[in-house]
Each structure stands twice: as structure tokens, then as C-alpha cells.
Amino acid sequence: MQQRIIIVVLAILVALPVIVKSRVNRKTSVHTAFSIVSSATVMVLISGDVRHGGVYSLGANLLTLTAIEMAEPVRQVKGFATGSCDKRNVTHGDHLHLELGSDGTGMISCGSMSAKERMVLGIPLDINAMSAADFENLPGIGPVTAQRIVEYRQKNGGKMGFEELQAVEGIGEKKFKSLVRYF
């Protein structure tokens, strides 16, 4: 019950900025997270020093810089700091965060949405990037089973395929079938 409440609260927190701030950009059309996502689109969370943060459904070939421009930085960006990921393409489940320095220099950090955010938005999880805490958010996975999954992955070179979950003690055929939709 508590997990359901957490997921509902997270869904509201993720959806609220999209609902309140969704709009059509003057330069390029941007659809909210509730539009149909095809193979040519990716869902990206944009936050930081932008006027319209939230979840965007964007073309898969867009640069992170373009995505940040669509969310409208709060003031003019005079350039980007070395190490900023402004010139890479956005990918499904990205979390782009803009920090503006006092001199107008921007730094875009590229990360990944949390497992909870991905689950709420229907974005497939990356089994090799998940922590034990992330696995615990899956229905039917408790702390012991979550730790077993992480240990199994570590014992097998730090990588595993989704199908290998069946080899983890505590995950039977029924539980495995219920987890398919998240990966």
C-alpha cells in the first residue's frame, strides 16, 4: 500500500509541471509526456535554471542544447562550460539539468531519470544501472530479493540480461512474468 502511495505521489509530482507548463514553443513544437511516443521520439526530463522544466517528448535526433533551449533558460546563456553535454543527442529517459553561472556560462548535466520516474512514465528500466533500492520499487521485490539481484549481477561481471532474473533465488516464473512490463 505504501509503495502505491509513493508511486502515485511521484506521478503527480512528475505530471504537475508538465500539465501546468506544457505549451507549444515559438520555435519548435514540443509535446508533453502524455503524447504517444514512437520510436522516433524520446522522453526527457529537463530541470534547473529553465522557465519550463518538466518532461518533454522530443525527436530522438535532437541535441541536448536544443532541448534546453525549448525549456527556455531563465536568462541568456553566453556559452557552455567544458565538460557540458550540450552537443550530444538526447536519449530515452535522460534527465538534463541546466546550471547557469553568474557570468552566464551554462553547464548541462546529462543523467538518467530515476527508476521510479521511468516506471511512472512507462520508460523501460536498465537492469544494469539499477541499485538494490531501485529493485525494491518493483512489485513483489523486497530488500532481500533486491540484494540477491545486485549480488548476482556483480558475480557475473556487473552485467546481466533481464532473462537472467529467473536465475535469482526468490524470482519464480510468475514473478518474472509480472516484471516483464518494466524492462
Query: What are the tens digits of pLDDT across the range 8-48?
Result: 666 666 665 655 554 434 344 444 444 444 458 899 999 99
Phi-psi region of 23 (alpha: psi -120 to 50; beta: other; left: phi over 0): beta
pTM: 0.66
Give the tens place of pLDDT for each residue, 143-179: 999 999 999 999 988 899 999 999 999 999 999 999 9
> What's the whole-number average pLDDT of the chain?
85
Domain covering 124-182 assigned CATH 2.130.10.10 in the classification? no
Question: Which pLDDT value is given to residue 21?
Answer: 53
Q: Where are the alpha helices (DSSP H) in the chain?
A: 2-21, 64-70, 115-121, 132-136, 143-155, 173-179
Integer CA distances (angstroms), 72 to 112, 163, 173, in order: 21, 42, 47
- Smallest CA-to-CA distance from 86 within 63, 116, 70 is with 63
Categorize the per-residue pLDDT at 64 as very low, low, confident or very high, splitting at 50, 70 and 90.
very high
- CATH 1.10.150.280 domain residues, the chain: 124-182
